[in-house]
Amino acid sequence: MTSLPRHLHLHHLGAAVIGVVLAASTSACSSQQSDASSPPGNLDNREWQVTNIYSSPSDPNGIPPTLAGKAFLVFGANTLTGSTGCSQIQATVQLSDTELELRNMELEPADGAPCTGRDLDFHNHMVDILHSGPLEILHLNASEIVVREKSDQPNPPAIRLLVPAQSTENEES
C-alpha cells in the first residue's frame, strides 16, 4: 500500500470536517425552519379551554356556566386566536416556552346575546390579563398551563387553561 503525502491526508481530513459541519448546519437550519410554524413546548396549536381566571382573591375564579366550553385560546408560533366567550380574539404574539406577549390584539363580538353580568366580568378579567404586558407561562403538565402576569406579588392575576381529555386522547391515537 502506498502512502499519500502528509499534506494530502490533511487536505482530505479538512474536506471531511467541512462536509460534516455543512451537513450539521444544514440539518439545524431545516429543523429551525420546520419548527418556525409551530409554537414552542407543548402548546402545539391545540385548543386550550379556559377553566379559571384569577384576578383577585375576592373575585370568583371559575368560568360562568353560560361560558363553559366557549372560552379558549389557541397558540400559534406568532399568533393567538380564541374566545372569551363574549368576543373572538386575534392577536400577534411574541411567544417562547415560558413567556407570552400579545401585540395588536383585536376583539370581535361573538354572535348571539349581548355579554352581561358575570359573563362580562369574566370577559373583562380575561382581556385585562392578556393586555397586561409580558405574561409568564407555567407548564403544570402536558395538558395544563397557567398564563399569569409577571409580578412580584404572591398571586398575580392569571388564566388557567387545559386541553380537554378527548383532545389529548385523539392525539395519542
Structural domain that includes position 23: 1-36
Do residues 10 and 67 both lie within one domain?
no
SS3 35: helix
pLDDT level of residue 11 (50, 70, 90 thresholds): very low
Q: Which three cell numbers stand for residue 5?
A: 503525502
Do residues 80 and 1 both lie within one domain?
no
Do residues 69 and 31 both lie within one domain?
no
Name the one residue in this structure whose C-alpha cell is 450539521.
Answer: 24
The answer on pLDDT for 7 being more than 80 is no
Burial of 48 (0-12, 13-18, 19+ CB in 10 A): buried
Query: Could you read off the pLDDT of 48-84 as tens digits, one per residue?
Result: 999 999 988 777 688 999 998 999 999 998 999 999 9
pLDDT at 154: 86
pLDDT at 2: 47
pLDDT at 150: 93
Do residues 62 and 126 both lie within one domain?
yes
The answer on pLDDT for 12 being more than 60 is no
Region 93-113: what's the mean pLDDT?
87
CATH code of the domain covering residue 78: 2.40.128.270
Can you spell out the DSSP letters for 108-156?
EEPSSSPP-HHHHHHHHHHHHHHHSSSEEEEEEETTEEEEEE--SSSS-
pLDDT at 39: 61
C-alpha–C-alpha distance, residues 21 and 121, integer Å:
56
SS3 59: coil
Region 81-110: what's the mean pLDDT?
92
Q: Is the full-model pTM beyond 0.75?
A: no
* 53 domain residue, yes or no: yes
C-alpha–C-alpha distance, residues 62 and 72, integer Å:
14
pLDDT level of residue 13 (50, 70, 90 thresholds): very low
* 122 domain residue, yes or no: yes
Total domains present in the chain: 2
Query: Could you read off the pLDDT of 22-31 as tens digits, one per residue?
Result: 333 333 333 3
